[in-house]
Structure 1
Amino acid sequence: MRRSIVAAVVGVTALALTGCAGGGDGSGGGAVEKATIAIAADPGSLNPITNATQAGQEVSAYLYETLMSFAHGKDAEGLLAESWTESTTEVSFVLKEGIVCTDGSELTASDVKASFDYAADPETASPYSGVYFPAEGLTVEADDASRTVTFTSAQPQSFLLSNIGQMPVVCAAGIEDPASLDSTPVGTGIYTLEDSSPGQTYTLALRDDYTWGPGDVTSDTEGLPKTVELEVVDTEPTRANMLLSSEINVAEVGGTDRDRLESGDLFTIDVPARPGLMFFNQSEGRPTNDLLVREGIAGGIDRDEVASVSTGGRGELMTSLVSSFTAVCVGADATTSLIGFDADAAAASLDEAGWTVGADGVREKDGAKLELTFVYPSTEAQSVVAGIELIQQQLGEIGVEVTPAPSSSYTDVIFQGGDWDLIWAPISTTLPSTWAGILSGPFPPDGGNWTYNTNQEFFDLTAEAQQLAGEDSCDAWTAAQASAIGNLEVMPFAESTSTLYGAGVEFEVTTNGLLIPTSLRG
């Protein structure tokens, strides 16, 4: 019998995680010495401060830790932090005693400060700057004697604790030699990197000196696998096959491949899958710099149809830029300002922008054709690819020539100012304030505002929202999202569920839908 845990539904408060392993006794079928976990892509660099990709975060979770633990369905609890105080302008953490880095050194408050200083350095170009902590106006003070690190923001932040508490902390040796972090992790995670074959496998060993895990997890906690092997398996059908043949213990599978796993005796957690978000390149010289062009593109796309196709019929239209796994601002609708599907009105917008239909059916302006490069991650499911091809077809009908361009490293394209006009970027966030960082700041290569957003209304609304704390800020954050969507910095489509399967193991997930290594049990 398949035991399923449905974690969340779009627009509805997330349900608490409950249930047991497929074995039926909650033990996961006995101790597992080695757990093999499939990841969909190779992480590349292992530097947790500069690599914010899905694969990068999946790997770094075993090797590095954050100040706080945010398990879905649970209250936030300390991970590196023993206790904390918070307000909209200041959050202070007292570190647990006896935290030891993988190189044998003790983690200090100064090390935590150094991690944030390194991430805040413009030369580091960390995508977490302005997302997990304010890009400007943040003061960090460390007191090693009291194990206390205090963050003070010059401007109020609605979710200061949640943001700062999520950034990975690197130990002193890594900060002293940042280049080494690409291949040699040095953190406080419960596992260490034992061996790696980039593009294939990463072998991790359980530490014997780990004592500070959430829920009092230590190296001696019963059921923790002694070895974890992360295996790169880039297609969902292959991951499903490997689960059924017991070649792997954990994998994420979405779409129709889940149908044939129904009969398997597997532990499951359904999580919101990577959301369907299409972004527009608003840099000078790009056709999509013109709002009329963006409106024409948005109006020429049947959002309902694309949402259905791209999720394999399993999704729900997004009403927010924030994952349904969020614990805040649940039920907010920021899409009321989104232009509806109307091919005639879309064509009129493009005409008004000066792009008229040429003899070959493609729109032209000043001798140039309206040809757009549509980048998307090459690891996306076939249903997503079908959705992108549907967008290509629908825009072709109003004279916009779209060329889909799969990329194995789309984040390099956007952060390095590469060649793109439209991009399908499945960015999953659990806090509305995260979008203030994603859509603000200097343009690449000097900063992370890779959509080249200049929407002053959005900036003003996010500044207003930051003055308010927690749930009191939700209306303001919804208005800010509505501005970004209405001005077409981003066009949301649908969020579907994906399923994390466990064969002989159990686990919990974060509010970001990532497996929590300290929760893995065989």
Structure 2
Amino acid sequence: MRRSIVAAAAVGVTALALSGCAGGTAEPGGEGAQTIKIAVQSDPGTLNPITNATNASESVSTFGYESLLFYPTGEEPKGLLAESWESTTTSVEFTLKDGILCVDGTPLTATDVKSTFEYAAADETGSPYKGVYFPAEGLTIEADDDAGTVTFTSAAAQSFLAETIGALPIVCASGLDDPAVLDTEFHGTGAYALEASSPGQSYTFTLRDDYTWGVDDITSKTAGLPGTVEISIIESDSTAANLLQTGEANIAEVGGSERDRLESTEFAQELEVPLRPGLIFFNQAEGRVGHDLAVRQALAQAVDRESVGPVASAGRGEQITTLVSEFGAACTAMDSSAAIPSYDVDAAAAALDDAGWVEGADGIRAKDGKPLSILMLYPASESQGVTAAIELLQTEFKKIGVDAVPTPSASYTDVIFSGGDWDIVWAPIFTSLPSDWAGILGGEFPPNGGNWTYNANQEYFDLVGEAQALAGADSCDAWQAAQDSLFSNLEVLPVYSSTSTFYGAGAEFGMSKSILAPTTIRVTE
């Protein structure tokens, strides 16, 4: 068995499995009717690639949309829609490839690229990419359709300006003319066209015959590229493993202990990726108990990461000491372990005593007549291991007099982005650049902005400013200082990373950032 073990930085890497028959052995070659069956653990819901930033959405939308750059795991970015680019900390000019066509056959223009960013930047759009993939303020864009260039100029310096801007999916004019159609239709330049969809069940894509601009010169005629891709929604790791074993799945992701029974099965490829890292975020809005740093510190000190982590990861992970994994795009050697509060139940209880939280007869603390109760939000689709870890946290918090209420949510991102009801959230956010966190944990509070933790850590913002003034690898020490501040002030408590494994049965594949890259899929038998 040829085994390729690679990892990819992810915002919760998508699961891939299938339902129904695989339709026989796929035939290799760039032309023909070969079909590859894939699945995702969750339905993407709305298909708009600018407003839906969930991993489920990206895993489906990537078949129809492309960005300026392509991000192979552990490597420097490559041009996707961009032929070349030149950048500094305050500007980047992309030159588009010749001959790029939208799915409706119209040429992609530099103006389309500019318009995509303008649509994403508009307040009424509500894009979660604003402030993450591009500056929320002070960004000017110039498009030259004759030269095929798009120039972005930022009023504030950005350490990785090209890398962040290059990640936004680009929408063609047909979709920008009436953005409402983007919820159910694809209007991009991707190698595949949406043939049929049944929301909540499946999405079928067919290979375009006019695709010529792929990364590394991939075209519609590239040998092994599947002619049809059928994506199905399969939520269960157990079901995914079953489908792989019975030959009914070409590509599937399996996590936890379900992988144990696949060890004796021959696969064309296995690719191990960080799975939905365990990060605990605190709601610091006024009126929430997490607004008080003493409470955040007590909760953090009550978490035994060495006990909770192995449970969450099914014994296949390690403690997180940085928000950028070793397989990220930059600053992968950062280590902020010294800034993470140590496990100390006595110190946690003492901190709550000092903050005026008095333990009652039932063991639950209260202050000014208000019990110390917290809502522990987490994705309903998480593994059994994570669910067990949440229950363990509940037990640990009770030891210091905190009534923690586990609250699974199928749409937890809607809750946190809208300023909903939560106190801590186990959120599987993984990024490949340290600068991404400046957007995720900065800006205005909901509903006017995306600073959903209500982070007001001025030290962090000042350190971000220092880091952004430095380009590329020269900024890494400054980014670590900023990360230290996030951990010590408990905007986020890193717990444990874990892995899941993509399996290819009769197929090989690659990744761009955290997402299966459609043009890397190859039929092998």
Structure 1-normalised TM-score? 0.95
Amino acid at match of 2:264: S
Measure the CA separation in 2 of the matches of 1:75 and 1:123: 34
* CA deviation after TM superposition for structure 1 residue 28, in Å: 8.7
Deviations 1:17-72 (A, max 9, x none): xxxxxxxxxx9974571111020100011100111101011011111000011111
Letter in 1 for 2:78: E
Q: Any residues of structure 2 matched to 1:263-342 within 5 Å, and which?
A: 263-266=264-267, 267-342=269-344
Letter in 2 for 1:444: P
Structure 1 residue 63 and structure 2 residue 64: aligned?
yes
What secondary structure, in the 3-state scheme, does the structure 1 residue paired with 2:258 have? Answer: helix
Does 2:441 correspond to 1:439?
Answer: yes
The residue matched to 1:210 in structure 2 has which SS? coil
Q: CA deviation at 1:323?
A: 2.8
Match of 1:362 among 352, 364, 375: 364
- Aligned-partner Cα distance in 2 for 1:372–1:307: 21
Whole-angstrom distance in 1 between the partners of 2:357 and 2:58: 42
- Partners of 1:119 and 1:389 in 2: how far apart? 38
- Cα shift at 1:335: 2.8
Matched with 2:163 is: 162
Task: Report the CA distance between 1:4 and its aligned residue.
Answer: 2.5
C-alpha displacement at 1:279, in angstroms? 0.3
Amino acid at match of 1:331: A
Q: Which amino acid aligns with 1:360?
A: D
Is 1:515–2:516 an aligned residue pair? yes
What amino acid does structure 1 have at the position aligned with 2:67? T
Shift of 1:122: 1.4
Question: Which residue, out of 469, 472, 475, partners 2:474?
Answer: 472
Contact 1:461/1:477, CA 8 A, preserved across alignment = yes
The residue number in structure 1 matching 2:95 is 94
Query: What corresponds to 2:503 in structure 1?
Result: 501
- How many residues are matched? 504
Question: Which residues in structure 2 correspond to 1:339-418 (within 5 Å)?
Answer: 339-418=341-420
How big is each residue's C-alpha offset from its partner over 1:188-234, in whole Å with a ceiling of 9 and x where there is no partner?
Answer: 00011111111110111111111100111111111111111111001
* Corresponding letter in the other structure for 1:335: S
- Which string of whole-angstrom CA distances, capped at 9 and with x for unpartnered residues, describes residues 114-153 of structure 1? 0001111111111111111111111110000001000011
Structure 2 CA distance, aligned partners of 1:436 and 1:28?
45
Q: What is the letter of the counterpart of residue 163 of structure 2?
A: S
Aligned to 1:179: 180
| Farther-moved stretch of structure 1 (456-465 vs 348-357) | 348-357
CA 1:9–1:46 in 2, change beyond 3 Å: closer, same or farther?
Answer: closer
Counterpart-to-counterpart distance in 2, 1:406 and 1:399: 22
* Partner secondary structure for residue 276 of structure 1: strand
Letter in 2 for 1:521: R
* Equivalent residue, structure 1, for 2:136: 135
Per-residue CA deviations over 1:293-343 (Å, capped at 9, x if unaligned) read 000101111111111111111101111012332132122112311111111
Looking at structure 2, the residues matched to 83 and 225 of structure 1 have their Cα atoms a distance apart, in angstroms, of: 28
Does residue 490 of the first structure (1) align with residue 492 of the second (2)?
Answer: yes
Shift of 1:435: 0.3
RMSD of the alignment, in Å? 1.4
**Contact 1:29-1:505 at 8 Å conserved across structures:** no
Secondary structure of the corresponding residue to residue 277 of structure 2: coil
Q: Match of 1:389, SS?
A: helix
One-letter code aligned to 1:5: S
Contact 2:324/2:334 (CA < 8 Å) preserved in 1?
no
Summarize deviations over 1:487-522 as a string: whole Å, max 9, x none: 001000111121111110001112x33111001110
2:516 alignment partner, SS class: coil
Aligned structure 1 segments of 4 or more residues deviating by more than 3 angstroms: 27-32
Q: Is the 8 A contact 2:7 2:73 kept in 1?
A: no
Structure 2 partner of 1:81: 82
Aligned to 2:258: 257
2:5 aligns to what?
6
Q: Counterparts in 2 of 1:454-469, with a 5 A limit?
A: 454-469=456-471
**SS class of match (1:493):** strand
- How far the C-alpha of 1:181 sits from its partner, in A, is 0.4
Contact 2:8 2:511 in 1 (8 A): no
Cα pair 1:370 1:400 within 8 Å, conserved: yes
Deviation at 1:359, TM superposition (A): 1.2
SS for the counterpart of 2:378 is strand
Secondary structure at the residue paired with 1:46?
A: coil
* Aligned counterpart, 2:16: none
**Whole-Å separation in 1 of the counterparts to 2:505 and 2:407:** 35
Segments of 5+ residues of structure 2 without an aligned counterpart are: 10-24
- Partner SS state of residue 268, structure 1: strand
The separation in 1 between residues aligned to 2:180 and 2:409, in whole angstroms, is: 25
Taking the aligned partners of 1:433 and 1:238, their CA distance within structure 2 comes to: 37
What is the aligned partner in structure 1 of residue 428 from structure 2?
426
Equivalences for residues 95-110 of structure 1 within 5 A: 95-110=96-111
Contact 1:508 1:516 in 2 (8 A): yes
**1:1-40 map, 5 Å:** 1=1, 3-8=2-7, 30=28, 33-40=34-41
Identity of aligned residues (%): 57
Contact 1:362–1:369 (8 Å) recurs in 2: yes
Q: Secondary structure at the match of 2:86?
A: strand
Question: SS of 1:307's equivalent?
Answer: helix
Measured in 2, the distance between the counterparts of 1:9 and 1:225 equals 23
Amino acid at match of 2:309: A
Does the 8 Å contact 1:275/1:494 carry over to 2?
yes
Equivalent position of 2:15 in the other structure: none
CA contact (8 A) 2:26 2:35 kept: no
Q: Which amino acid aligns with 1:280?
A: F
Contact 1:4/1:270 (<8 A) preserved: no
Deviation digits for residues 251-285 of structure 1 (CA, Å, limit 9, x no counterpart): 11111111111111111111111111000000010
Q: Helix, strand or coil: the match of 1:481?
A: helix
Q: Secondary structure at the match of 1:374?
A: strand
In 2, Cα distance between the equivalents of 1:67 and 1:289? 40
Q: Distance in 1 between matches of 2:298 and 2:356?
A: 12
| TM-score (ref. length: structure 2) | 0.94
Counterparts of 2:329 and 2:141 in 1: how far apart (Å)? 27
Partner letter of residue 177 of structure 1?
Answer: D
